[in-house]
Amino acid sequence: MSATSKVLPALHPIKSLPPKFKITSGNPTAGLMENHGDAKFRSNDVIRSGSPENDALIGEVAEEAQNCAGDMGVYGEDLAYSRKGVSLEDRPSIADEDLESVPLPFPSISMSSRERRWSDTTPYASKKKLQSWFQLPNGNWELGKIITTSGNESIISLFDGKVLKVKEESLVPANPDILDGVDDLMQLSYLNEPSVLFNLQYRYNQNMIYTKAGPVLVAINPFKKVPLYGNDYIEAYKRKAIESPHVYAITDTAIREMIRDEVNQSIIISGESGAGKTETAKIAMQYLAALGGGSGIEYEILKTNPILEAFGNAKTLRNDNSSRFGKLIEIHFSETGKISGANIQTFLLEKSRVVQCNEGERSYHIFYQLCAGAPPSLRGKLNLQNAEDYNYLRQSNCYSITGVNDAEEFRTVMEALDVVHISKEDQENVFAMLAAVLWLGNISFTVIDNENHVQAVEDEGLFHVAKLIGCSIEDLKLTLSTRKMKVGNDNIVQKLTLSQAIDARDALAKSIYACLFDWLVEQINKSLAVGKRRTGRSISILDIYGFESFNRNSFEQFCINYANERLQQHFNRHLFKLEQEEYIQDGIDWAKVEFEDNQDCLNLFEKRPLGLLSLLDEESTFPNGTDLTLANKLKQHLNSNSCFKGERDQAFTVHHYAGQVTYDTTGFLEKNRDLLHVDSIQLLSSCTCPLPQIFASHMLTQSDKPVVGPLHKSGGADSQKLSVATKFKGQLFQLMQRLESTTPHFIRCIKPNNLQSPESYEQGLVLQQLRCCGVLEVVRISRSGFPTRMSHQKFARRYGFLLDNVASQDPLSVSVAILHQFNILSEMYQVGYTKLFFRTGQIGVLEDTRNRTLHGILRVQSCFRGFQARRSLKDLRGGITTLQSFIRGDKTRKAYSALLKRHRAAVIIQKQIKAVFARNRMRTISDAAIVIQAGKVLYYINSKIYDTNFCCMEYRCSN
């Protein structure tokens, strides 16, 4: 078939590409000859001489290079990987083992052209490789261009112009340039170590520190601030406006699955020391607080970080802020999805760091913060000195961290203590215990007899410790210099030698600090749980120490690496074992994928009675047991184990999943017993300060199982019942049980370099971590498997309404009908006995359709409900208007009737009043008339009388 007649599948742009990626439509030859990153292959690269050996090849190479460049023009615009945009979904996924047998999606070239360039014995796949990875002697991978191939040898040109002749089997196929910086490693056509390394480096150089590896998020520590966080990003991930990999995206998924499935979730953050686990946990908590906030408890949860970091983190050679304890914070949610409370569980605080630090390291941050930031009043009360004045702190000659202000950090811690409701009095007691621990290290001893017995010197260290913990100087002096023992019915006081006295002093300091740390966590939990209702829904964030391997590895690294071994088993179980077991149980046609299982290493630790932990506990109970006898016993019983190797002197090597670690058993037995003598506990219980009394009570009640053997014989306290290893193993199993009951989300933190330097990427270091955490296996299994699965019932219930018509109510029939209706290819899913299994990305199509349909349904429902509401409102208004009219009419009629009655009454009243007025007026007039008439009559009478009298007078006069 010719290049022009070959039909290629439809090609679409990749959904997720780096922001700076640009699609070009220029010369396809230039696009193919362009190297990854900054390396460019130019036409003259092949004729440059990198070494004398290459000069002999230049002539032949130059001709072949020109021929190759000329033939690439034959492809023209039909090149499958030209810069016009390609979709990975349109190309078949190729497993590692099939790289040499599956043809690449390039058009074929005429046979005549092939015969002129390569012999017939050259494998077909090799003839088509344009770029391949080649491993240099220093272990780094470099991209090269295949110039010509003859037999099982190929001539390649590196980016610096060197021309090498290499064995064909030493070349690893490279992905096309269009896949540079994809945000999910599952999108890579060739999934191999150099391709994964380069893809991560490409993104890392552009500050894209997060990359998906199937279901796992890979986070590379940038060792600098990157613009990927804040309220704007939180809101964007909440609204799904951004889909690129991020801690926010993982946390958002956990919240949504918790609400949707009503199943508790867990976010498991792992990685080496210095990989950024603590910061990643804080970022996840910030997102939870932003989405589930509102009650105020989220602010308290965030403020626990500076407290726990100050008291539980320290500077090591590999990390300035290394967690020296494990932390599981369980955040509880209400029914409405709001944070309602939290609980913090801690594991194995590294107590030995309190009294001993290696050169260049620091003890716990809080000591330096207290010395640098305590206010004058507190300094005077605690008699604080500078950090370099304390023996426990000055032995490492490291007092500060570049870029960190301890005084400012102390103020932050005090503010956080206020937020979690630890009273000022309790805070002063906490700082007093810290000062007491520091002054304990300054207590010195003097020899008092020929047998090297010692007693504590009455110096400022002794005085200050006695004052701070609230005991008498004599009691403290006797506790550090003598030991009470009971032999039969007699009590014997034994004087201590210098080494015994120093051990007793250091044991007291370590116990006080460890109890103080536990007490602080207990107070924080009380604050986070007061008045909070729990619904059973929670998201747990696990931030635990990473795998460690130093030049000298002691008991602490032994426990830490055992914990990481158990966590790796949990990782394997959920991503490898359970997945493949589920395929088998559900009858899925599945080719089992092999992966590296660490069960043998776990058996080495946990097997009884001949496991590392059992033999360690057994030797700890022997009266004459020493670190040397422990080493010999381990070699005697475990040398046949493939994961164990006995070393010279007191050392042994364990083959962990992350590599070999050699442990020095010096101090193993003492640290495993972790004995605090009964005299020291009695001293603490007799103190006047409240905290030492609480610590003593805790030590006396922490276990019920007695220890037999040398612990009692040496006067050990009855409180020291269980060994440290046994208690740690119990805590670890409880942790695993809690994690098993949750849906896990994994974040793998990667440290790009050991110098904690930004923009530095060490291939070997990154590759080692990728191998350790099983990233390649996860991607390989996820890509070849069916990572998305759903029960028939749930699938039918969730998507059944999308069917045009439902002929059957059987969940399986409904599910199959849905798949057929939406034309999902048969190779993209499999139907199991109880579940449906989907390839990556298939469920997203259905989910998008469901969301769109639901959105449309909601729009229709909203319109119909609006219509109903408006019609109901109109009817209601009409009814109200009618009712109001009747009521108003009735009220008007009643008012009119009352008014009419009042009018009638008023008329009657007026009539009566007018009548009264008329009668009174008539009477007045009548009376006046009568008076007038009477006056007239009287006048008349008087006039008549006058006239009569006048006449009479006249008569008499006349007479």
Is 274 labeled as ligand-binding? yes
- Is residue 231 part of the annotated active site? The answer reads no
Sheet arrangement for strand 339-347 = 210-213, 216-220, 743-750, 265-271, 537-543, 326-333, 339-347
* Catalytic pick among 273, 280, 316, 442: 273
Residue 314 · residue 323 · CB < 8 Å: no
The secondary element (H helix, E strand) that includes residue 746 is strand 743-750
Bin 149: left if φ > 0, else alpha if -120 < ψ < 50, else beta: beta
Residue 277 annotated as binding site:
yes
Torsional class of 240: left (φ above 0), alpha (ψ -120 to 50), beta (otherwise): left
**Distance between CA atoms of 572 and 576, rounded to whole angstroms?**
5
Question: Which is the catalytic residue, given 31, 144, 274, 292?
Answer: 274
Strands 651-656 and 445-447: unpaired
110: CB partners within 8 A, 6+ apart: 2, 3
- Amino acid occupying residue 258: M
Give the tokens for residue 581.
């077991």
Residue type, 518: D
Question: Are the C-beta atoms of residues 763 and 140 closer than 8 Å to each other?
Answer: yes
Q: Can you give the length of the chain in residues? A: 959
Q: Decide if 195 is catalytic.
A: no
CB 786 within 8 A of CB 829: yes
Q: CA-based angle 68:69:73, to the nearest 5?
A: 110
Rg (C-alpha) for the chain, rounded Å, is: 46
61-76 CB burial, b ≥16 within 10 A, e <16 = bbebbeebeebbebbe
Closest CA relative to residue 372, chosen from 391, 387, 390, 392: 387
Catalytic residue among 132, 244, 323, 527: 323
Cβ partners under 8 Å of residue 784, min gap 6: 93, 95, 591, 593
Annotated active-site residue in 361, 548, 565, 777: 548
Tell me whether residue 274 is one of the annotated catalytic residues: yes
SS3 label, residue 834: coil
Active-site residue, 278 included:
yes
Amino acid in the structure at residue 796: A
Active-site residue, from 132, 154, 195, 322: 322
Degrees to nearest 5, angle at CA 957 with 952 and 959: 95
Q: Do residues 507 and 675 touch, judged by C-beta distance below 8 A? A: yes
462 contacts 456 by C-beta, under 8 angstroms: yes
Kindly state the tokens that stand for 637: 């019983």
Burial group, residue 686, by CB count within 10 angstroms (0-12, 13-18, 19+): middle
Residue 82 tokens, joined: 């030209």
CA-nearest of 225, 298, 296, 214 to 255 is 298
* 322 belongs to the catalytic site: yes
Produce one character per residue of 785-803: b if its CB has 16 or more CB atoms within 10 Å, e if not.
bbbbbbebeebbebbeebe
| 162 is known to lie in a ligand binding site | no
145 membership: H or E segment, kind and range = strand 141-150
Question: Would you call 323 a catalytic residue per the annotation?
Answer: yes
Q: Return the residue matching tokens 């999943």.
A: 657
Are 631 and 588 spatial neighbours (Cβ–Cβ below 8 Å)?
no
> Is 436 marked within a binding site?
no
278 is in an annotated binding site: yes
Question: Quick one: which of 733, 739, 728, 737 has its CA closest to 348?
Answer: 728
Spot the catalytic one: 214, 373, 470, 546. 546
Known binding residues for ATP are 271-278
Active-site residues, by number, are 273-274, 278, 319, 322-323, 546, 548
Known binding residues are 271-278
